Structures are given as structure tokens and as C-alpha cells.
Chain A
Amino acid sequence: MAKVLMKGNEAIAEAAIRSGCRHYFGYPITPQTEIAEYMAKRMPKIGGVCLQAESEIAAINMVLGASSAGVRVMTSSSSPGISLKSEGISYMVGSDLPALILNVQRGGPGLGGIQPAQSDYYQATKANGHGDLHLIVLAPNSIQEAADYTSLAFELGDKYRVPVMMLADGALGQMMEPVEFKEVAETALPEKPWATTGTECKRKKNIINSLFIKPDELEVSVNERFDRYAEIEKNETRVEEYMTDDADIVIVSYGITSRICKTAITLARKEGLKVGMVRPITLWPYPSEALAKVAKTAKEFLVVELNKGQMTGDVKLAIECSRPVSFYGRTGGMMPTPEEILEELRKIGGRIE
């Protein structure tokens, strides 16, 4: 299929439809409202459902219901709305329900702003809801990746029976780039014998539930899920390494910020600074191994994010604090220029010589 020029939000919506998603529940919030608008136009024409819920809370619970009924389903929101969804997300984890939850991040805390941010890193990777839980967290850095990882999110969600979060930001949501869609055959959608679709009096009843009142039973349930998490960590960790082979300084950055870093790396290399980048594509599972490997040859790490340094701790853990890790970022909706990052790289370059 030919390339088309599309906004990130619209590309994600289209990719979801092409991945067999026929159910969307959401609530308007900038900068991701185009998704609901796109779904509202498209879904009725293809026998799908797009419903504007009364709240983010209702929307995620509609997702919980539709996922229980065995269909591919998604919701999308931006930072404040994701906080509201946290309850439902936790219940979905506890009930082993797949779905795509998209966060087109904006600045926070509180109502914050509406410009691009990555300040929900902690929320997405550490505690998107109460309880012992993880979500698979995908961080695309282009519109093509946003479309591709939308499909991947549905596949992984169904395969491991976990909700998958895609962490984008206002820039990725609003910008246009060429994108090429891959079609998923309708028949490729997996069977879901666990779904509550009605027994037809042919099988024992299915129960979708996150309540285990006996602690020993709850422990078994959580442990079983963590066995699955271990499989996910083994099989699904994704990372891009960029010019790390000879790099003295390694940037660690994801999403939209990683692109700005690439430009900064080009500028730095022109000045003779050996800079590379490790770009986590899955923020959970975290690509700790790739970082540990790079730490054997790199001299220093620089984390670059649109927040106050939320990923820095993960990098330090991954490399077991074997190299200095510093941070550069902007927050509140501000974006660094490549020149700002270059300036930071020069400082590090001066230190390590």
C-alpha cells in the first residue's frame, strides 16, 4: 500500500482498525481528540462501535466490558485522563484482559498544559494503578512506528492477556508524517475461549474477575501473572541502538525526544565527539541488557527526556551505576533543541577527555 501523509492520532486510529479493532471508547481531551473524531467517522461505516463515554472512568470500564466479551478494543487519552483510567487498568490487569490504552502525553501535574511531555514515565512504567502489576509500554518515535506498534500492541495484548499502553506525546499525536499501513487478516484474530460471550449452554461458565478473597489464592494468581511477565521480558523487549559501537557518550532517550537526540548526535559527531544512543522502544520490559552491554565500552551516559529525569534511575540500575549518568530535559511542554543537547554533550566531552 502507498504511503499516506497522516497525523499521528489519525494514523493510530487507522492502524487500530486495520488490526481488527472495532470498538473504541473514549472521552475528549487535547492533544488526542482526533482519535475519537476519526473513530466516530469510521466505525459506523465498518460495523464498529465508537462511543463517547461520560468520563474516562466509564470509558476504561466499557473497554473492560468489551474486552471481556472477547473483542479487540482500545481507548485513548492524555495524561490527566490516564490518571482517571488507572482504576480500570488495574482491574483489567487483575482480570487478565487485553486492550490498547494510548496516552498522548501532555505536561503535568494537575491540569498542567497541553504541549508535548514525557512526564508520565513513572506512571506508565511503575504504577499505572494499584497492586502488583506491569503493563507492556511501547514508545514509538515516528508516525510509522506509532502505526506499527498499534498493531503490535493488540498482538501482544492478546498473546499474553495483558493491557498494553502506548506512550506517545502531543507532538507525535499532532504531527504528520508519511505512513504505510499493514493489513491484518480478519481470520488472524486469535480465539478467546475465556471470554464472556454467553455459554450457549455448551461449556462451563466463564468468569472475568480480579477478586481473590483468600490470600493464598491471590498470591497464586499474581505469581502466575508474573511468570507471564518473565516471558514478556524474555521475548518482547525492544530497543534501538544507534552508533553505540565506538561511543564514549551514550544518550538514553525514547519517543519524540530520541529524534532530537539523533540530530544532536549528528552535530556532535561533526565536532569529533563520539556519541551514540540507546533508545528503549519498550519502556516495560526495560532493555536493561542492551544498556549493560553498552556500559562496557561507554564512558558516560546522558538521559534525555521531556520531564525532570524520570528514567534516570532505570538507566543507573541497568548499568549497575558502573558509569556516570547525567540528565538533560525540558518539562511543562517545552522541547529541547538539538543545540541544547549538543551543549550538554560538549560539557560531558570536556569531562571525559
Chain B
Amino acid sequence: MMTILNGVGASTGRALGAARLIHGPDEFSRFLSGDVLVCRTTDPAWTPLFGMASAVVTETGGMLSHAAIVAREFGIPAVLGVRDALDLLADGAPLAIDGAQGTVTLMDGK
């Protein structure tokens, strides 16, 4: 069974990747190219991760947030404002992101 989380599709596109739950800069070194960045919010320190991410999922923000603008610049899908994403997703879980529909699909359930 697939679990689908909904948020605001803030940057279009589709991507598949492993969820990488990042709580702060101390954990940046765990992030691998192609991972889906899952976090609460972002600030300028997080911009380099956008260059490595296949997609971005945040718990806060929306169409008009800085994260949306940065994701569009990198041409990667972004689903923002996904409530409790850090609690509902497991690190390493395979995700399908649809930045137009604003959906985060957990491929093997949790």
C-alpha cells in the first residue's frame, strides 16, 4: 500500500529518490547526490543541498517562500508545507515526488 502525503506543489517536476531527513547543518554530510531533501525549513545555508537534491520536501512554506524560489532555480520539484513530514517519513525510504500535484508518495509504506 502506498502512503501519499500532500503539500503545496511549489516547483514542478517529478523525481524519485531516497528520503534524507535533515534536521540541521550538522547533518549535511549525510546528504547524498540524488536524495530527496526532507526538512522543516531552509535558510541560505541549505542552498548547496538543493544542488545535490532530486527534490525538496519541507514542513513549512508554500508557493511564495524562499525555498520555492531556490528550488525553481535548480529546476527540481518541491512540495512544501507537508505537515509532520519529518515524523511521517523514514530516513532512506523511497519516495516519488510530484511537484505539480504537491504529492509525496512513500513507495513501500510505513
- Verify that A and B bind, or say they do not: no
